[in-house]
Structure formats: C-alpha cells, structure tokens
C-alpha cells in the first residue's frame, strides 16, 4: 500500500525546487537541455509516481531554493541540500542519502594532504551559499592557530564553476561530496580525493512546516528504500552504497 500523500500534492503536482549544477544529483546532461537529470530528479519522479501526481521541476540557484520554498513557489526542495541544524530549525527536513565532505583534486595532483593542516596556503574553491565556506573558515582558525598560512577560499555561484577553477588550475582543490567524485570518475573525468574531512552529512528533502507532511514524506522515502527503488537510483548514478545508510524516520 502506498503511503498517504502529503497535503502539498493535492493539486496533482509535486513542484520541486532544485539547483541543476551538482552532478550527479541534478545537472543538465548536455548544454541546451531543457530538463535536468540526476539522482534527485529520479527520486522526485519516484515520489511523484508513488503519490500518483505529476512532477514539475523548478530550477533555482542554490541560495534561492529555501527562500523559494518558504514563499510557496515550490512544494519541496529536493536538491542535495545538506541536513543542517540551522536549516532544520526553520524548515522540516527528511534525510534520504548519506555523504562525506571531501577535498577534491585533479587526478594528476601531487599534493599530499594527510591532515587539515596540510591545506595551509592552498587555494580551495567552494560553491556560494553552501556550508562548505563556513567549514573552511573553521579549519582556517585551527591552521592560523598552528602558525600557518590560511587557506585562500574562493566562492563561486555554482558547484560547476568551482570545479572549472580546479580544471584550469586556478584552485588546488574543491570542497565537494564523495557522491560527486564517484560520478565524475564514472564519466572518465579523473578526479581524486585529496582529503576526506571527518564530516558525515546527509542530504535532506526540505518542506514547509507541517508534521503530517513531514511524516508522509518520511514514509514515502522509507517505502522507496524498502522496495529497492532508492538503491536502484544510487546504483544507476554510480554512487557508493554507503550513501543508503540513513534512517529517514529519525527526527
């Protein structure tokens, strides 16, 4: 039996905000494509089919997604947004996949990063509006405290912009998730993880406040996990299987 549908799909459509610049979670496969593809697109489609409604994808820049949700311009944000206490204090969140924060370098990089102190003096690119910049600032405090030169943090509007800086040699690394590295290497782009930060995160679906709706979405994620659909999506996009290690029912 399908779980009860949340109230926001009573119109017959699930409107999802997403930022299609973060492969393999959501991205345009080719320049000029009208519709994005990716893990979150497949998940949104699976939820829509489970509830018997249409799917409407609404591309928004990362920094504008949660404000768009709050303003009622979409029903949910399903776009690899990390579950963070400050976000969940304002908007309900349902985790669905796990991920680790990593510093990514080009495959031909000779950098040896054995600890965060080895990041001292490096230029690291990040996507604006993410939690990565704050994370790097915290690392910088410890680097400066150790008497070393801080990381030069460069912020860009899109994750793809940050990756481009790495590719052209303007940055030594990019803060990203292990999910992205797995996908890009599956596409033959040959990146490598320079350093895995001791940060285990979870991607979460964000909703407008409403306990019943949050419970409905959590139940739907649980069903997609139980029937193997979530695993199929993970395997289709070459993500590591540890991404499935999430309990969507937890608060």
* CATH class of the structural domain 7-98+202-244: alpha beta
The Cα–Cα gap between 207 and 193 comes to 32
pLDDT digits (tens, 9 = 90+) for 87-127: 999 999 999 999 888 999 998 999 999 999 999 999 999 99
pLDDT above 70 (res 248): no
Domain positions in the chain: 7-98+202-244, 100-200
pLDDT given at position 250 = 46
Do 7-98+202-244 and 100-200 fold alike per CATH?
yes
Q: Specify whether the CB–CB gap between 204 and 251 falls below 8 A.
A: no
What value does the mean pLDDT take over residues 54-80? 97
Task: Give the CATH fold of the 100-200 domain.
Answer: D-Maltodextrin-Binding Protein; domain 2 (3.40.190)
pLDDT digits (tens, 9 = 90+) for 6-64: 999 999 999 999 999 888 999 999 988 999 999 999 999 999 999 999 999 999 999 99
pLDDT above 70 (res 141): yes
pLDDT above 80 (res 3): no
H-helix or E-strand spanning residue 229: helix 229-236
* Cis peptide, bond prior to residue 24, ω within 30 of zero: yes
pLDDT digits (tens, 9 = 90+) for 142-194: 999 999 999 999 999 888 899 999 999 999 999 988 887 887 777 777 788 89
Give the 3-state secondary structure of residue 139. helix
Give the 3-state secondary structure of residue 196. strand
């Amino acid at each position: 039996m399908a779980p009860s549908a949340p109230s926001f799909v009573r119109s017959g459509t699930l409107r999802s905000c997403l930022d299609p610049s973060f492969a393999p979670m959501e991205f345009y496969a080719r320049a000029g494509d009208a519709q994005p593809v990716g893990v979150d697109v497949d998940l949104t489609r699976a939820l829509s089919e489970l509830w018997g409604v249409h799917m409407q994808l609404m591309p928004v820049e990362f920094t504008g997604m949660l404000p768009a949700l709050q303003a009622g311009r979409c029903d949910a944000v399903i776009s690899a947004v990390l579950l963070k206490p400050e976000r969940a204090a304002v908007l309900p969140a349902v985790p669905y996949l796990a991920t680790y924060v990593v510093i990514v370098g080009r495959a031909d990089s000779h950098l040896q990063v054995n600890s965060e102190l080895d990041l001292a003096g490096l230029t690291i690119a990040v996507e604006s509006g993410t939690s990565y910049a704050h994370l790097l600032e915290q690392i910088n405090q410890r680097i400066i405290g150790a008497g070393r030169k801080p990381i030069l943090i460069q912020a860009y509007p899109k994750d793809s912009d940050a990756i481009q800086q790495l590719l052209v040699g303007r940055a030594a690394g990019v803060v990203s998730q292990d999910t992205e590295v797995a996908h890009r290497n599956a596409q033959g782009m040959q990146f490598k993880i320079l350093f895995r930060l001791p940060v285990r995160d979870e991607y979460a679906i964000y909703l407008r406040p409403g306990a019943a709706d949050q419970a409905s979405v959590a139940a739907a994620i649980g069903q997609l996990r139980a029937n193997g659909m979530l695993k199929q999506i993970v395997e289709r996009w070459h993500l590591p299987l540890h991404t499935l290690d999430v309990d969507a029912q937890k608060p």
